[in-house]
Amino acid sequence: MATIEKLKDIVLENDSASYNLGYKNIDNLIGEIKSNTIITIGARPGMGKTSFLNNVIINLLNNYNLPTLYISLDSSKEKLISDLASISNKSVKELQNNDYNLYISANCFNISDLEKLLEENEDIKVLAIDYIQLLSGKNTFTSMADSYSDILSRLKVMAEKYKLIILLTSQLSRNVELRMDKEPQIKDLGKTSALEEISDIIMFLYHEDYYIKESKNKLTEVIVAKNRYGKTGITYLNYKENKYID
């Protein structure tokens, strides 16, 4: 039931905790992250968005060890754990013994199931979903766009309700391949354009040498296309053996 409160009676929440993603140049660009923030990481296939998400998760766990729920819809639990171990320079056994506050689900394909998981585990502070197009919603919508809009709206409510930092990876439209300039743009979110509305920060990954074979630029371009709280712009990371390095 909806309620109202008189202005003087409203108790303001003061969540002063803030976090960095663990990359100096990116953190300097986007600023510190607070709860109730949705970050979308978009790229075409082959650009390393899952690896980037995994690196960010390990950075957050190493620096803050916040209770984290990783919804892995594009990889098995075994592959995810192996990749996280590789990023951490640990064996799988060492990773499992590291006391990370990390919870993994590889079979949560429905937004309603995700809502139940969070309701049952209210200590979760970071939610990662790889990747958002694989999360389904109600079957009552006549278009995929409407279904995605509903899913994303419900994610926004969850971010506010549980004070979450939400990290999403997203595939981009094939229209990127039809342009001379292959650098991703917000319009490339395509049918999931509602992502632009609910996301506080949108980052794209781009490898010039993926399209231009003779290019000597081997760096990963990180394009901050939207930032509700700070600057936008471009920075770069090195990528080697599943690891992103400043």
**Residue 126, strand partner residues:** 68, 165
Q: Which two tokens stand for residue 186?
A: 């917000």
Per-residue pLDDT, 12: 67
The count of C-alpha atoms lying within 13 angstroms of the C-alpha of 72, restricted to the half-sphere facing its C-beta, is: 21
Domain boundaries, the chain: 18-245
The amino acid at residue 101 is: N
Distance from C-alpha of 58 to C-alpha of 22, rounded to nearest angstrom? 9
Average pLDDT for the chain: 90
Query: For the segment 76-105, what is each residue's pLDDT rounded down to a tens digit?
Result: 999 999 999 999 999 999 999 999 999 999
Query: For the segment 106-159, what is each residue's pLDDT rounded down to a tens digit?
Result: 999 999 999 999 999 999 999 999 989 899 887 677 777 788 888 999 999 999
Q: Which two tokens stand for residue 146?
A: 């409407």
Q: Is the dihedral of CA 18, 61, 115, 122 positive or negative?
A: negative
DSSP 176: G
**Residue 21, strand partner residues:** none
**Burial class, 27, CB count within 10 angstroms (exposed 0-12 / middle 13-18 / buried 19+):** middle
Round the CA-based radius of gyration of the chain to a whole number and report it: 18
pTM over 0.75: yes
Q: Which long-range contacts (CB under 8 A, 24 or more apart) does 144-149 make?
A: 144/191, 145/191, 145/192, 145/193, 145/194, 148/191, 148/192, 148/194, 149/194
Q: What's domain 18-245's superfamily in CATH?
A: P-loop containing nucleotide triphosphate hydrolases (3.40.50.300)
Q: Could you identify the residue written with the tokens 């419900």?
A: 154
